[in-house]
Chain A
Amino acid sequence: AQSVTQLDSQVPVFEEAPVELRCNYSSSVSVYLFWYVQYPNQGLQLLLKYLSGSTLVKGINGFEAEFNKSQTSFHLRKPSVHISDTAEYFCAVTPYGGATNKLIFGTGTLLAVQP
């Protein structure tokens, strides 16, 4: 079975500062990894994904994430945040070769960008 841990429930940051949202996972098999963003009162939008290849992946809105297999981590980063980045961010995994590709989500991190 897989599990995802997002240790930070909330991350306050000032506008134009860098930010890192942490994600660690546990799995006995290899996984695909995702970050989704949920803006207030909206659905889940795919931010970026790691399927294979380069461990540094770039997504929408200037976000990037690095897959670290030895540390079983997939932290999300942005060098300079905007007020509009205020949202809930969810890390998710699904195992390689799974029959259904069901996503297992972390508990989410609320990124609160302050002026």
Chain B
Amino acid sequence: EPEVTQTPSHQVTQMGQEVILRCVPISNHLYFYWYRQILGQKVEFLVSFYNNEISEKSEIFDDQFSVERPDGSNFTLKIRSTKLEDSAMYFCASSRQAPEQYFGPGTRLTVT
């Protein structure tokens, strides 16, 4: 059964550094998403991406964040200058057409 994959599983970075989180969505899916979950809190929507552009973004997704689909398989989330409060689990999800989304295992980002 196809799955969404994410790399790395855990990323430790220093405050102010740039990080890129990578995702490989399910191959025939068209809609792509990033969510985050700060420890002990609920899962929050960050951004959705369709047809090579952002279709919606949340208030959290400020100028420090960007997304890209550099080729036919990868979907990346870049944080330009990380802050302590960016420490969280970041989930990628993809969807073919229907509203249900399939999530990857997540990348735990720790900013020190």
Chain-B contact segment, one of A21-29, A67-75, A78-86, A96-104 = A96-104
Contact mask A24-49 → B, CB, 8 Å, 1/0? 00000000101010000011111001
* Closest residue of A by beta carbon distance from B58: A102
- Contact between chains at A94 and B99 (CB < 8 Å): yes
Q: Is A108 in contact with B42, judged by CB distance below 8 angstroms?
A: yes
> How many B residues touch the partner, as a band?
20 to 34
User: Is A44 in contact with B91, judged by CB distance below 8 angstroms?
Assistant: yes
Whether the pair B42, A100 counts as a contact (CB closer than 8 A) is: no
Scan residues 50-67 of chain B and give those whose CB is less than 8 A from a CB of chain A.
Answer: 50, 55-56, 58
- B residues near A94, Cβ cutoff 8 Å: 99
Chain A residue at minimum C-beta to C-beta distance from B33: A102
Interface residues of B in 25-54 (CB under 8 A from A): 31, 33, 35, 41-45, 48, 50
> How many A-B contacts if CB must be within 8 Å?
58
Measured CA separation A99–B49 after assembly (Å):
11
Q: Which chain A positions have C-beta within 8 A of B106? A: 43
Give the Cβ gap from A57 to chain B, nearest Cβ, in Å: 12
The complex places the Cα of A102 from the Cα of B47 at a distance, in Å, of: 8
A90 to B1, CA, bound (A): 23
A7 at the interface (CB under 8 A from B): no
Residues of A within 8 A of B101 (CB): 46, 101, 103
A40 vs B23: C-alpha distance when bound (angstroms): 21
Q: Report Cα–Cα, A44/B91, bound state, in Å.
A: 8
Task: Identify the A interface with B (CB < 8 A).
Answer: 32, 34, 36, 42-46, 49, 51, 90, 92, 94, 98-108
Sorted nearest first, the 10 A-B pairs with minimum C-beta distance are A43-B105, A100-B48, A44-B103, A100-B56, A105-B43, A101-B99, A102-B45, A107-B42, A100-B55, A32-B99
